[in-house]
Amino acid sequence: MRWISKPALLRELNPRLLFVGCFVSLGSMGFGFDNGWWGGALGLAPFARKYGAYNEATGTYDIPSEKQSAGTGTGSAGIILGCLIAPWLCQNLGRKPTLLVMASLLVVGIVLEASAITSFWQLVVGRVIVYSGIGLASNVVPMYQSECAPANIRGAFLTAYSFWNTFGGFLAALVIFLSQSLTTQWAYVTVILCQLFVPIGVLLSYPCLPESPRWLVYRGRFEEAEVVIKDLYGPDYNATEEVQLLRLQIEEQRELNKATSILDCFRGQNLRRTIIAVMVQVLQQAQGVSFINNYIVTFMEQLGFENSLRWNVIVTVCGLAANFISFYTFDKIGRRVSLFFGAFLMAAMMMGVAGATIQGTSSITASTKNGCVAMLILWYCIFGLSWGPGVWILGGEVGTGQLRERTLLLSSLGSFVTSVPINFVNPYVQAAIGGQVTFIYGSFSVAAMVFVHFCLPETKDRSLEELDEMFQNGVPTRKFASHICTGLGSQIRKLEKEGDGDLKQKESVISHVEVAV
């Protein structure tokens, strides 16, 4: 019972942190919802009649592969655009004002999507703008969360990004399922306008959100940073000492390892951090999440399921439940274990589907079809426990403070540059080889296991400043969990762990490190 008693999440999560974590993460809900409604709409008969073409062989309307590719792939291109402007906005305007830009882009894009009554290409333009806002969200939200959260619950805090993403996908699947009986125009407009609650939620909560305390320290606004830290951690928290330690650590980093440009992400130990941040995102996409999000409905139709939209809802519900559990597991069992065994089980599920459909999707039995659906549901559950939240956690914490905006830019680009060819090519590959497409994704899960084992360090229960110290000192991957830090990062970690503790002891520590620096 000791393993499950008094988790850090319950000990350290206060109402203020809960509010900040939930409302900042709304940006990711737009990503999940837009992916979800698009993937569901591709299997919706009224949508196919409106934007598709009549297929004489089947006697039905369907969306041609080129339109599927354009509608899905150009959204990813919009994300890349958002990622490219995110570092400048986050660094110069601050994390909080960037959320305002993100919400504005979502509103404009959603309005264009909802008003695309006759033009498919207006719909595509709207998706590009929406996804530009999502690209911003994929950078600013993990960054903001990692800089606000205590080390013990940083994993849970960053898991909120993935959770809201999955929740958005679930809502979209549910709305699509319920809108089947509506007329073409109203079905389309209703689904799209449901997205507006995401930017509206961000805008309504905006006045109550604080700026990132670490960003304030980076900009020399120490008194404001103290106010924010007390606001987040409680009035009794010794914010003065934390700000002082953060200031000293930043000065130390600038003296020992000054880094200011994106090229510095590829120099020295920063290269190792960049590789980790980028590769976890690349491997997440390569293992098949874009396939599940965008093409699961058409894949189930290919298997011969009549009510694929209902199964889409079931898949997303199961993934949402698994994602909820990961709020606890990532900070308890760690990043390495979660991602390694997640990749192992995801490989087994995708390979299982490939094996079951090796004779083609048209001749498989009903029991085999049900087995395929069960494995895809299990895949999504495992994804929600591992690679779904894991990549956002690692992306938000492995970058050094001087380069965090740029590291997250490269990390996000790694994800979306990978998803673009997948989204464009998958319709053609799926049409050509059917269920065997899952063999490709399963193979990448095997590659992900190898990467995690040899390259991914354990980062749980470490302050961001401790990670700076370990990367800078070149600690081997498999020794991260047992390494004992002795620098400023360990003092910041101790301060977070002990709360307001013994003030005299902390003042002695600060005096000591000031002399050392």
Q: What is the pLDDT of residues 426-485, one digit of tens each?
A: 777 777 777 788 889 999 999 999 999 999 999 888 888 888 889 988 999 999 988 888
How does DSSP assign 350-390, residue by residue? HHHHHHHTTT-SSS--HHHHHHHHHHHHHHHHHHHHTHHHH
Give per-residue pLDDT as tens, 494-515.
776 665 444 344 444 444 444 3
pTM for this entry: 0.75
Of residues 182 and 153, the one with the higher pLDDT is: 153
* 239/241 Cα distance (integer angstroms): 5
The pLDDT tens digits of the residues spanning 242-255 come to 888 888 877 877 77
- Identify whether 509 is part of a domain: no
Cα distance from N-terminal residue to C-terminal residue, the chain: 44
Is residue 5 very low, low, confident or very high in pLDDT (cuts 50, 70, 90)?
A: very low
For residues 136 and 225, what is the distance between their CA atoms, to the nearest angstrom?
Answer: 24
Q: Does a structural domain hold residue 352?
A: yes
How many Cα neighbours within 13 Å face the side chain of 191?
A: 33
**In whole angstroms, what is the distance from residue 216 CA to residue 164 CA?**
27
CATH number at residue 465: 1.20.1250.20
| Residue tagged 């109203």 (tokens) | 186
Average pLDDT value for the chain: 80
Per-residue model confidence as pLDDT tens digits over 405-414: 888 889 888 8
| Residue 432: inside a domain | yes
Residue 217 domain boundaries: 29-238+255-485
Contact in structure between 32 and 166 (CB atoms under 8 Å): yes
Confidence of residue 184 (pLDDT cuts 50, 70, 90): low
**Residue pair 126/396 in contact by the 8 Å Cβ criterion:** no
Report d(CA 222, CA 240) in Å as an integer: 9
Q: What is the pLDDT of residue 362?
A: 63
Quick one: pLDDT at residue 99? 93
Q: What is the per-residue pLDDT across 266-279, written as a single tens digit (0 to 9) for each?
A: 988 889 999 999 99
Share of the chain above pLDDT 70, in %: 83
Q: What is the pLDDT of residue 453?
A: 94
Amino acid 510: pLDDT: 41
How far apart are the C-alpha atoms of 308 and 381, rounded to whole Å?
18
Contact 429, 290 (CB under 8 A): no
**Residue 169 domain-assigned (yes or no):** yes
Query: Strand (E) positions, 236-289?
Result: none
Give the pLDDT confidence score for residue 154 in this predicted structure. 82
Please count the structural domains in the chain.
1
Reply yes or no on whether the pLDDT at 425 is more than 50: yes
16 occurs within a structural domain: no
Among 167, 156, 166, smallest CA distance to 328 is for 156
* Cα 261 to Cα 87, 142, 418, 513, distances in angstroms: 11, 20, 24, 28
Classify residue 258 as exposed, middle or buried by CB count within 10 Å of its CB (0-12, 13-18, 19+): exposed
Q: Are 140 and 99 in contact (CB under 8 A)?
A: yes
Q: Residue 387: exposed, middle, or buried by beta-carbon count in 10 A (0-12, 13-18, 19+)?
A: buried
Which residue would you say has higher pLDDT here, 187 or 207? 207
Neighbour tally for 119: CB within 10 Å? 13
Pull the structure tokens for residue 241: 């000492």
Q: Residue 450: which of 344, 346, 334, 345 has the closest Cα?
A: 344
Where is pLDDT greater, at 351 or 249? 351
Is position 123 within any domain?
yes
471 assigned to some structural domain: yes
Condensed to tens digits (0 to 9), the pLDDT of residues 306-329 reads 666 677 777 778 888 888 888 888
Query: What tokens does 484 get?
Result: 């004992």
Residue 5 inside a domain? The answer is no
**CA 185/CA 350 separation, integer angstroms:** 37
